[in-house]
Amino acid sequence: MLSRQPLKVIEGTQLEGNGSHGQPVAVVTGAGRGIGRALVDVLHARGYLVVAIVRSLSDVSELFSLDPQNIFPVRCDVTESSTESVLREFLERQVERVDLLINNAGFGATCYGIEGLKYQELEDVLAVSCYGPIRCVRACLPLLRKSAHGVVINMSSRFGSLEWVASGVVPHDEATYAYRIGKAALNMFTSCLAVELQGQGIRVLAVDPGKVKTRFGPKDADTEPADAACAIVDLAERNADTGLFVHASGERMPW
């Protein structure tokens, strides 16, 4: 279970130097492990200044030790309502713009079936999969608008596809109601946001990373986190579309 202790402050590391002059800036949530951590490595290797949102102080220290000039770990739980204002203030102090926001944080629920569903778990999943991304988008939006090519990637899942769940393409018993509802809500948020931001040059995609070998990934996972992360950053950099649900390979997924 997740800790329900609120994290009251963001303990962002301070950038030494000039902020983001000319350097692309990415914000990644759930950056301490799994796909999120791999995204930090890929973005860093491609020259981004990375704002890495994590929950634990040990993740802050570890990420900070990698490259304090270019990786800023920020301690924050996206389920906390303070995230929006504190993240925005942090970003406005530290960077000139945001080019890429990846709402990656997420977790799998454990209670299966309609009778197994626990309301608290549903609320916890929605807090991470839906409210968290909304807060992070609102925090980043003023700085995304300063980018020439802002992109928001919402980390979704094949289990968020209404069509695939309804048609049985994804097995009924492989994911909980809470997880599927959380990702479907994230997909709807993606679609609404893409339409609203279309005229502002900010692209928004929902991305299924595939079956990735992480703590959370399925038993038949076949993709290394580094490969998934490369594919996702490629998508952000090269795919010119907006308002789509896509696999990390770029293949379209049905909403």
Ligand X SMILES: NC(=O)c1ccc[n+]([C@@H]2O[C@H](COP(=O)([O-])OP(=O)(O)OC[C@H]3O[C@@H](n4cnc5c(N)ncnc54)[C@H](OP(=O)(O)O)[C@@H]3O)[C@@H](O)[C@H]2O)c1
Contact flag: residue 35 with ligand X (CB under 6 A):
yes
Return the residue matching tokens 């301070």.
14
DSSP 171-208: -GGGS-HHHHHHHHHHHHHHHHHHHHHGGGT-EEEEEE
Q: Which stretch binds ligand X (CB under 6 A): 18-26, 98-106, 110-118, 232-240?
A: 98-106
| CA dist., res. 149 & res. 169, Å (int) | 34
Among 155, 165, 231, 244, binds ligand X (CB under 6 A): 155
Task: Determine, following the binding rule CB under 6 A, whether residue 12 of this chain makes contact with ligand X.
Answer: no
CB 217 within 8 A of CB 227: no
24, 73, 106, 150: which one contacts ligand X (CB under 6 A)? 106
Q: Which stretch binds ligand X (CB under 6 A): 8-16, 192-200, 204-212, 243-251?
A: 204-212
Cα–Cα distance for residue pair 4/128, rounded to 1 Å: 12
Identify the H or E element spanning 252. none
Range in contact with ligand X (rule: CB under 6 A) among 10-18, 40-48, 170-178, 212-220: 212-220
Q: Is 214 in the site for ligand X (CB under 6 A)?
A: yes
Query: Bridge-partner residues for 73, per DSSP?
Result: 52
In angstroms, give the least distance from the CB of 21 to ligand X: 29
Query: Which residues in this chain contact ligand X in the complex, by CB under 6 A?
Result: 2, 29-30, 32-36, 55-56, 77-79, 104-107, 128, 155, 157, 208-209, 211-212, 214-218, 221
